[in-house]
């Protein structure tokens, strides 16, 4: 006959199992949220920058100090339209301004495109952004006490 355990020990076991379940649920949730970073290679410049899946390619380029052609930045004007030599992107807007046959030919809109893999983009108009000028202190003018 198995030894009877006290109610206190049984309660501790129940709490330990519940805590372990909480930890597993938390770990599973965090694993689903860990996002991978991809690399974008611009041609013909050869410049590279990282992009996470939650950041549009155009914004990631700017964060890396690179300017790609753009205007509306909402996927409608096509000013940023460029050819993707390799990689996969996805759009989170319902109607990106690039037709499905154009997408099949490799045309993408970096302003609303989210990387799903490393990308190679043909963007001959890409430029390096000038480094920010240091702030200049100016004398205040006007009445002072």
Q: How many residues bind ligand FES (CB under 6 A)?
A: 13
Strand residues in the chain grouped as ranges (E): 38-43, 48-51, 66-67, 82-86, 89-91, 107-108, 113-115, 119-122, 127-128
Q: Which stretch binds ligand FES (CB under 6 A): 4-12, 27-35, 67-75, 126-134?
A: 67-75
The interface mask with ligand FES, positions 99-138, x = CB under 6 A, is ----------x-x---------------------------
At its nearest, how many Å lie between ligand FES and the CB of residue 16? 54
Comparing CB distances to ligand FES, the nearer of 18 and 93 is 93
Q: Which of 41, 45, 65, 70 binds ligand FES (CB under 6 A)?
A: 70
β-pairing verdict for 107-108 and 82-86? antiparallel
Question: Is 79 a binder of ligand FES (CB under 6 A)?
Answer: yes
Contact call for residue 64 and ligand FES (CB under 6 A): no
Handedness of CA 83, 88, 90, 95 (dihedral sign): positive
CB-nearer residue toward ligand FES: 62 or 73: 73
Q: Tell me the C-alpha distance between 51 and 120, whole Å.
A: 12
If residue 31 lies in a helix (H) or strand (E), which one and from where to where?
helix 7-33
Residues 83-102 that bind ligand FES (CB under 6 A): 97
| Phi (first) and psi of residue 31, to 5 degrees | -60, -35
Q: Which residue has the tokens 């709490």?
A: 15
Residues forming contacts to ligand FES in the complex (CB under 6 A) are: 70-73, 75-80, 97, 109, 111
């Amino acid at each position: 006959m198995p030894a009877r355990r006290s109610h206190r020990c049984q309660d501790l076991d129940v709490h330990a199992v519940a805590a372990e379940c909480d930890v597993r649920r938390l770990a599973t949730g965090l694993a689903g949220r860990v996002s991978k970073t991809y690399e974008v290679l611009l041609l013909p410049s050869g410049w590279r920058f990282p992009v996470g899946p939650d950041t549009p390619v155009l914004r990631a380029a700017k964060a890396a100090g690179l300017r790609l052609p753009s205007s509306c930045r909402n996927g409608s004007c096509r000013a940023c339209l460029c050819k993707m030599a390799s990689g996969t992107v996805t759009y989170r807007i319902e109607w990106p301004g690039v037709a499905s046959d154009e997408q099949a030919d490799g045309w993408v809109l970096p302003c609303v495109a989210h990387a799903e893999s490393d990308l190679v983009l043909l963007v001959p108009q890409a430029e390096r952004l000038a480094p920010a000028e240091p702030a200049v202190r100016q004398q205040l003018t006007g009445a002072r006490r």
